[in-house]
Chains A and B, each alone.
Chain A
Amino acid sequence: MKLTERQRDALSELINIAFARTGAALSELTGHRVVLNPPEVAVYQTAELRGALARFVPGDVASIHQVFGGPVAGDALLLLNYAGAVHLTDLLTDGHQPSAYLDESAREVLTEVGNILLNACLGMFGNLLNVHVTFSVPRLHLETLDEVIASTTTDKTEMHYALVIYTAFQIRDSSVKGFLVIVLSVASLDRLIQEVDAWEAQQGK
């Protein structure tokens, strides 16, 4: 499944609204201006996901994982490489000395950041589709990319797609890259794209 240029633009615009909300929430929380770079969106089959992400997140990955259910179901993940995860927590919590590792408090901060971002995006999709989406409690994992992909709850027998949204957190003159990955069934993605098309048509009016 490929997105048309217009669909990609429309989806990016919608996600950017969620990003703006996330940036505002993080700015308020931390007292520092936090901006998320405009999203770059691509769609992959889950089988292609590893190849698509491996280049950007080599080594250990910090993932904040939330499962969502309802008429549209799937997995939402925020992926950061390990060093990026440590750096982001330092930036958000005013760490005086750069940390070398993620302690429990740092993991919790990352979980909250992922939670804010995933809630904003999934909430926006829910509104768009006019469906009620339920969320699991977010969990943070430190593992390899393969383990992250294997941990998604989707039924492996069914064809699934992954919406991969690339962004970067801009905070205190620093930039931390991250990926938002939303794994959906074909049916869910179809439905989402239809709604995006409808929204885009409405915007054009």
Chain B
Amino acid sequence: MTRAGSKTRMKDSSSKETLLNAAVLHWMHDLAAQGIVTTDGELNVVEWNHWMEEHTGKRAADVIGKNLLDLFPELRERRLDRHYKWALEGQVSVLSQALHRYLVAMPAVSGVHDHNQMQQAVRISPLSNEGVVIGTLTIIEDVTERVSREAELQNQIEERSRLLSSEKLARNEAERANRLKDEFLATVSHELRNPLNAILGWAHMLRLGKLTEANAERAVETIYRNAKSQAQLVADLLDVSRIISGKLRLDVRTVDLVGIINAAIDSIRPAADAKSIRLQAMLDPAAGLISGDADRLQQIVWNLLTNAVKFTPKAGRIQVKLQRVDSHVEITVSDSGVGISKEFLPHVFDRFRQADASTTRIHGGLGLGLSIVHQLVDLHGGSVSVQSEGEGKGATFTITLPFVGVVNNPKEPESVPAGNFDEVTTFDGLPSLHGLKVLVVDDEADTRELISEVLKEVGSEVITCRSVEEALIALEQHKPDILISDLGMPDEDGYSLISKIRALPSEQGGHIPAAALTAYARAEDRMRVLRSGFQFHLPKPVDSAELVTVVASLAGRAYNSQS
């Protein structure tokens, strides 16, 4: 290589370098997508690129040569000037958006974000030549959109984690409810099967016909008692279902609590006597009248008493008190029973909850009684509470009901509801239906026979039919006074029968008083029954006394199509 050649190449490369440097400077000034500011060692502005001009509104010609800290006094106020001092000492500074927001205030470029001010990330570096700092370089990056997107993402994450945790809570709650229901279903099956065993067992023996007269009587008694107990379980379940769906309606009248409590005590007395439990009643006759549903109030007291008898050991004591306290009436039922643990106390009125849900538990029942009490008392605008000093120390349930100062219902106070469940129903005292012709329609022979027997017992003449077709013929032939019809029948149902009958003229039986008989006991079923033309709704299983009372009541008034 010749010396001249080498020189030329050096010159070439040096001029290339100069050209490149110029190109880089041009790029930095005109094209860079960041703000680029250089200063000399005194912090006087040397370079102010196009991006800075565009975003600050300050032209390069107006800032070059001027001191950066004088141009932007805010830098001193915000103590950011020290980064320039450090830069002149050779240090690099990073200014994050999160801790500084911005270096030089500039309006944000419009876009999808919620900032008025441009959010910036900044680097401030020394510019050195041969180990000596001769100036500073500031690079400003617009991070507004990025910050906005990050915040949005963070919100989404927070929202998702909030949803997740609330979903987790709901799932736990659902699982807990499910567990309670499972326990409850196990209890229901157990409680329904127990009486069923007795019923099936004794019924089987009766069918064989080998029982002595005394044993047969015992068998019937046992079957009756167990069937009653099952009916009570089903009634409780239906009550709960009505309460849950808000379908339970109170038949509110002015009622006398003394009579209601006495009736409940009378009905529980045999059970208490069987365990030699002393039942004490301290009922203040002046406690007054309250507004309520007599049946439901008796159910409340009866449930509390049943509960007390169940959990009070032999030779124990149960006390019922009725008194007036200020503007309300208070009923307390205290017992000397097994008491309630502190842990279970808050759950006493929960549905499906029993202190001992194990299969080996001593006390039967569904654990619905107290929940029903709570709901019924609520419906009466009252409250129920429980106190217990702990296990083995008895329990006291207190019900408060609002006192009615003025009798707001002209109807006579109702004392004892008819058809008390636990009373052994006899036909004594029931109205005679002598001479009354009753048409009974049911596809089930057993039901037909049962109703027929009961009605014949009180003197009525009964015509039984298996279908709608038969019933219409019987109506024409026998001209009955009263119709009792099942609803669910094959081919044509009870609704069809009543609509056909109501379409007939009065002389052909179109206005015959009618009661529907059905196992569908929900409020909407009752409504449909009444709307379709029946005057009464008799839920299955039929209570004999109730049946006779209903028929007597129907006989007392004819159907009025205008009503």
Which residues of A come within 8 Å of B, CB atoms?
A: 28-30, 66, 70, 89, 92-93, 96-97, 99-100, 103-106, 108-109, 111-112, 115, 119, 123, 126, 132-138
Q: A103-B153, A105-B98 given as contacts; is B90 within 8 A of A133 (CB)?
A: yes
Return B9 CB to nearest CB of chain A, in Å.
30
Asked if residues A30 and B99 are in contact (CB atoms below 8 Å), the reply is: yes
A96 to B100, CA, bound (A): 18
Majority DSSP secondary structure for residues of B touching A:
mixed
Which residues does chain B contribute within 8 Å of A133, judged by CB atoms? Answer: 90
Nearest CB to that of A127 among chain B residues?
A: B89
A135 to B128, CA, bound (A): 11
Return B153 CB to nearest CB of chain A, in Å.
7
Best-surrounded residue of A89, A92, A96, A137 (most CB of chain B within 10 A): A137
Q: B residues 80-105 with Cβ under 8 Å of A?
A: 86, 89-100
Asked if residues B99 and A109 are in contact (CB atoms below 8 Å), the reply is: yes
Q: Is B367 an interface residue (CB 8 A)?
A: no
A108 to B98, CA, bound (A): 8
Asked if residues B94 and A92 are in contact (CB atoms below 8 Å), the reply is: no
Asked if residues B123 and A29 are in contact (CB atoms below 8 Å), the reply is: no
Best-surrounded residue of B91, B95, B123, B154 (most CB of chain A within 10 A): B91
Which residues does chain A contribute within 8 Å of B79, judged by CB atoms? Answer: 28
16 A-B residue contacts at CB 8 Å?
Answer: A30-B99, A89-B98, A96-B158, A97-B161, A99-B154, A103-B154, A104-B143, A104-B150, A105-B96, A105-B143, A111-B96, A119-B93, A132-B90, A135-B90, A136-B92, A137-B123
Which residues of B come within 8 Å of A, CB atoms?
A: 79, 86, 89-100, 121, 123, 125-126, 128, 131-132, 143, 146-147, 150, 153-154, 157-158, 161
Which residues does chain A contribute within 8 Å of B157, judged by CB atoms? Answer: 97, 99-100
The 4 closest A-B pairs by CB, nearest first: A108-B96, A112-B96, A115-B94, A112-B94
Asked if residues B158 and A97 are in contact (CB atoms below 8 Å), the reply is: yes
A97 in complex: contacting residue of B126, B143, B154, CB < 8 Å: B154
Return B187 CB to nearest CB of chain A, in Å.
44
A137 in complex: contacting residue of B98, B125, B147, CB < 8 Å: B125
Q: A132-B131, A134-B126 given as contacts; is B98 within 8 A of A93 (CB)?
A: yes
Q: A97-B158, A104-B146, A134-B128 given as contacts; is B93 within 8 A of A29 (CB)?
A: no
Asked if residues A106 and B98 are in contact (CB atoms below 8 Å), the reply is: yes
Which residues does chain A contribute within 8 Å of B92, judged by CB atoms? Answer: 66, 115, 119, 135-138
Which residues does chain A contribute within 8 Å of B154, judged by CB atoms? Answer: 97, 99, 103
Return A9 CB to nearest CB of chain B, in Å.
27
Return A75 CB to nearest CB of chain B, in Å.
14
B89 in complex: contacting residue of A29, A92, A106, A123, CB < 8 Å: A123
Q: A92-B99, A134-B131 given as contacts; is B91 within 8 A of A108 (CB)?
A: no
Nearest CB to that of B153 among chain A residues?
A: A103
Asked if residues B86 and A119 are in contact (CB atoms below 8 Å), the reply is: yes
Q: A70-B131, A105-B150, A112-B94 given as contacts; is B126 within 8 A of A93 (CB)?
A: no
Which residues does chain A contribute within 8 Å of B161, judged by CB atoms? Answer: 97
A184 to B153, CA, bound (A): 42
Nearest CB to that of B79 among chain A residues?
A: A28
Which residues does chain B contribute within 8 Å of A136, judged by CB atoms? Answer: 92
Best-surrounded residue of B79, B93, B98, B100 (most CB of chain A within 10 A): B98
A134 to B225, CA, bound (A): 101
Which residues does chain B contribute within 8 Å of A105, judged by CB atoms? Answer: 96-98, 143, 146-147, 150
Which residues does chain B contribute within 8 Å of A100, judged by CB atoms? Answer: 157
A135 to B126, CA, bound (A): 9
A137 to B141, CA, bound (A): 15
A136 to B91, CA, bound (A): 9
Nearest CB to that of B141 among chain A residues?
A: A108
Which residues does chain A contribute within 8 Å of B123, judged by CB atoms? Answer: 137
Return A198 CB to nearest CB of chain B, in Å.
22
Which residues does chain A contribute within 8 Å of B100, judged by CB atoms? Answer: 29
Q: A97-B161, A138-B94 given as contacts; is B86 within 8 A of A29 (CB)?
A: no
Return B268 CB to nearest CB of chain A, in Å.
59
Return B419 CB to nearest CB of chain A, in Å.
63
Return A50 CB to nearest CB of chain B, in Å.
28
Asked if residues A109 and B96 are in contact (CB atoms below 8 Å), the reply is: yes
A123 to B98, CA, bound (A): 25
Asked if residues B147 and A112 are in contact (CB atoms below 8 Å), the reply is: no
A21 to B93, CA, bound (A): 15
Nearest CB to that of B91 among chain A residues?
A: A119
A100 to B157, CA, bound (A): 9
Which residues does chain B contribute within 8 Å of A135, judged by CB atoms? Answer: 90-92
Which residues does chain A contribute within 8 Å of B90, judged by CB atoms? Answer: 126, 132-135
A138 to B99, CA, bound (A): 17
Nearest CB to that of A70 among chain B residues?
A: B131
A66 to B125, CA, bound (A): 13
A98 to B92, CA, bound (A): 30
Return A30 CB to nearest CB of chain B, in Å.
7
Which residues does chain A contribute within 8 Å of B132, judged by CB atoms? Answer: 132
Return B221 CB to nearest CB of chain A, in Å.
70
Asked if residues B94 and A111 are in contact (CB atoms below 8 Å), the reply is: yes
Return B126 CB to nearest CB of chain A, in Å.
7
Asked if residues B125 and A108 are in contact (CB atoms below 8 Å), the reply is: no
Return A182 CB to nearest CB of chain B, in Å.
16
Which residues does chain B contribute within 8 Å of A134, judged by CB atoms? Answer: 90, 126, 128, 131
Which residues does chain A contribute within 8 Å of B126, judged by CB atoms? Answer: 134
Which residues does chain A contribute within 8 Å of B150, judged by CB atoms? Answer: 103-105
A168 to B158, CA, bound (A): 28
B98 in complex: contacting residue of A96, A109, A119, CB < 8 Å: A109
Return B24 CB to nearest CB of chain A, in Å.
18
A125 to B334, CA, bound (A): 85
A136 to B92, CA, bound (A): 7
A84 to B121, CA, bound (A): 23
A119 to B93, CA, bound (A): 8
A77 to B91, CA, bound (A): 15
Nearest CB to that of A28 among chain B residues?
A: B79
Beyond A97-B154, A133-B90, 19 additional contacts (C-beta under 8 Å) are A29-B100, A70-B131, A93-B98, A96-B158, A104-B146, A105-B96, A105-B150, A108-B94, A108-B97, A109-B96, A111-B94, A115-B93, A119-B93, A123-B86, A123-B89, A126-B90, A132-B132, A134-B131, A135-B92
Nearest CB to that of B162 among chain A residues?
A: A97
Return A123 CB to nearest CB of chain B, in Å.
6
Nearest CB to that of A110 among chain B residues?
A: B96
Which residues does chain A contribute within 8 Å of B147, judged by CB atoms? Answer: 105
A134 to B126, CA, bound (A): 9
A103 to B150, CA, bound (A): 7
Which residues does chain A contribute within 8 Å of B97, judged by CB atoms? Answer: 105, 108
Best-surrounded residue of B94, B123, B150 (most CB of chain A within 10 A): B94
Nearest CB to that of B132 among chain A residues?
A: A132
Which residues does chain A contribute within 8 Å of B94, judged by CB atoms? Answer: 108, 111-112, 115, 137-138
Which residues does chain B contribute within 8 Å of A93, judged by CB atoms? Answer: 98-99
